[in-house]
């Protein structure tokens, strides 16, 4: 169960709700003015820096595309009746559609019309970022109307491509340590609420919370990027900093009313995954677990071989998993601010756990230390056969020196050794006194 609702929570729920309503209508994409407007609105919540990467910039194997602007689009029958209208829903247009103005028969138009395979009332979400093309997305009844039109249909897309830039937002929050946690969400989806607007707002309010927290241990790098190309651009511009990061979170699809879900990071044994499970258990919440998968969100970039950051996701109605995924039914009826604020509580708890981690580092990582020199070895050696399951002090000393890599919290090491963490403390104290391990 989550904690009882307070007045402060109610204020937050209302505040998130107001931002949901303001941000939902914007026709975001991988580039363009609505992305800037989204980030400018988020600046009311947190002091985001807005950065631009110019069109044509090479980012690893990719090139930042031209900026897309759309003013209007529609399909009209011979009587001037608009059967499909961008002004009614921005999902009607295939995102990144090229301009067109033409009278055409259904046969010519048909390859450019997309409908949802299952949901008759849904407008599906489609994009064509890197193939210059155009198209419309429609409900089943609109599709039938277009197909049955007796005369030619007037098709108009008023859009434009120009040299411009890709926009992203970032905020760096410094803690006592220079070591960073990466928090990331994507800002490229037009009018859908769970994917990805809920994640944008949760990330913003999580950042606001971090700014209020006193005496943070970790530093936090929080970024708002268009999915894939924006994450790649960010990795390219911040290569050396990101290579120092061990773990992070991709925050997306956090506002549905279904079960909580948790997608593990690429290394399923990484302590981030164990921490998240502990958080769910401490809050007594049911949740679904998803293994790491190469399909997904920007963990595909941040966990790629060159960066290998362990990125997990806590979701509520995870992308791919809910019926309304990538459709117009993923709207403000499906998502609400209360659900987002409940998921925010889970993320805040996780941050508290991350902040409370106690991590030790073996100060002499190159080969074993000479234990006898430090008065840690039994007086006589050589003939002793290690007792397989015994946990002698020597045994614990050796394991701690072997496992204290400066990354894993001591709770996880205790778990792996199947020892209560309190039973490790006397040995830890001894090793600390002899300056053989140090707390990070």
Q: Would you tell me which residues interact with Zn ion (CB under 5 A)?
A: 195
How near is the Cβ of 274 to Zn ion at its closest, in Å? 28
Contact 273, 249 (CB under 8 A): no
> Look-up: residue for tokens 């607007």?
197
How near is the Cβ of 194 to Zn ion at its closest, in Å? 9
Find the farthest-apart pair of alpha carbons in the chain and give their distance in angstroms, rounded.
Answer: 100
How near is the Cβ of 319 to Zn ion at its closest, in Å? 6
How near is the Cβ of 351 to Zn ion at its closest, in Å? 25
Q: Phi and psi (nearest 5°) for 328?
A: -70, -15
The smaller minimum CB distance to Zn ion, of residues 209 and 228, is found at: 228
The smaller minimum CB distance to Zn ion, of residues 197 and 396, is found at: 197
Rounded to 10 degrees, what is the CA torsion of 397, 401, 402, 407? 130
Cα–Cα distance for residue pair 134/93, rounded to 1 Å: 8
User: How many Cβ atoms are within 10 Å of 179's Cβ, its own excluded?
Assistant: 17
The smaller minimum CB distance to Zn ion, of residues 86 and 186, is found at: 186
Nearest in space to 345 (alpha carbons), one of 195, 209, 242, 224 = 209
Rounded to 5 degrees, what angle do the CA atoms 330, 204, 313 make?
Answer: 60
The smaller minimum CB distance to Zn ion, of residues 323 and 361, is found at: 323
Neighbouring C-alpha atoms within 13 Å toward the C-beta of 115: 17
The smaller minimum CB distance to Zn ion, of residues 320 and 402, is found at: 320
User: Closest residue (Cβ) to Zn ion?
Assistant: 195
Cα–Cα distance for residue pair 174/119, rounded to 1 Å: 46
How near is the Cβ of 358 to Zn ion at its closest, in Å? 38
The smaller minimum CB distance to Zn ion, of residues 195 and 299, is found at: 195
The smaller minimum CB distance to Zn ion, of residues 227 and 342, is found at: 227
Nearest in space to 27 (alpha carbons), one of 18, 36, 15, 17 = 36
CA-based end-to-end distance of the chain: 33
How near is the Cβ of 325 to Zn ion at its closest, in Å? 7
Radius of gyration of the chain (CA): 26
How near is the Cβ of 227 to Zn ion at its closest, in Å? 7
User: How many Cβ atoms are within 10 Å of 283's Cβ, its own excluded?
Assistant: 16
Contact 87, 104 (CB under 8 A): no
Cα–Cα distance for residue pair 193/398, rounded to 1 Å: 52
The smaller minimum CB distance to Zn ion, of residues 67 and 195, is found at: 195
The smaller minimum CB distance to Zn ion, of residues 252 and 273, is found at: 252
Q: Which helix (H) or strand (E) holds 75?
A: strand 67-76
């Amino acid at each position: 169960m989550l904690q009882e609702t307070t007045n402060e929570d109610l204020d937050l729920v209302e505040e998130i709700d107001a931002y949901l309503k303001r941000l939902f209508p914007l026709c975001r994409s991988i580039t363009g003015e609505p992305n800037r407007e989204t980030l400018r609105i988020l600046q009311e919540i947190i002091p985001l820096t807005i950065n631009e990467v110019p069109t044509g910039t090479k980012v690893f194997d990719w090139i930042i595309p031209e900026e897309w602007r759309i003013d209007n689009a529609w399909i009209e029958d011979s009587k001037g009746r608009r059967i499909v209208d961008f002004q009614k829903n921005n999902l009607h247009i295939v995102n990144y559609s090229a301009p067109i103005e033409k009278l055409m028969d259904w046969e010519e138009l048909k390859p450019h019309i997309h409908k949802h395979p299952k949901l008759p009332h849904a407008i599906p979400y489609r994009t064509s970022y890197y193939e210059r093309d155009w198209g419309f997305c429609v409900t089943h009844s609109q599709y039938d109307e277009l197909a049955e039109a007796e005369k030619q249909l007037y098709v108009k897309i008023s859009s434009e491509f120009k040299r411009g830039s890709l926009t992203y937002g970032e905020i760096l929050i410094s803690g006592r340590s220079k070591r960073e946690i990466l928090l990331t969400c994507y800002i490229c989806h037009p009018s859908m609420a769970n994917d990805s607007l809920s994640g944008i707002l949760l990330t913003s309010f999580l950042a606001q919370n971090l700014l209020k927290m006193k005496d943070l241990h970790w530093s936090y790098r929080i970024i708002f990027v268009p999915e894939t190309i924006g994450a790649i651009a960010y990795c390219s511009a911040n290569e050396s900093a990101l290579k120092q990061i061990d773990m992070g979170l991709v925050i997306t699809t956090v506002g549905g009313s279904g079960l909580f879900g948790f997608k593990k990071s690429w290394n399923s044994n990484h302590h981030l995954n164990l921490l998240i499970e502990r958080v769910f258990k401490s809050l007594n919440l049911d949740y679904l677990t998803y293994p790491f998968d190469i399909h997904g969100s920007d963990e595909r970039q941040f966990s790629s071989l060159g960066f290998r950051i362990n990125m997990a996701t806590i979701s509520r109605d995870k992308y791919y998993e809910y019926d309304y995924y990538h459709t117009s039914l993923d709207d403000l009826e499906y998502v609400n601010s209360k659900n987002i604020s409940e998921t925010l509580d889970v993320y805040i708890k996780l941050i508290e756990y991350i902040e409370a981690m106690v991590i030790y580092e073996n100060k002499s990582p190159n080969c074993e230390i000479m234990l006898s020199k430090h008065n840690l070895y039994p007086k006589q050696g050589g003939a002793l056969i290690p007792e397989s399951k015994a946990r002698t002090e020597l045994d614990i000393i050796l394991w701690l020196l072997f496992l204290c890599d400066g990354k894993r919290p001591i709770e996880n090491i205790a778990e792996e050794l199947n020892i209560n963490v309190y039973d490790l403390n006397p040995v830890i104290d001894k090793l600390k006194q002899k300056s053989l391990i140090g707390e990070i």
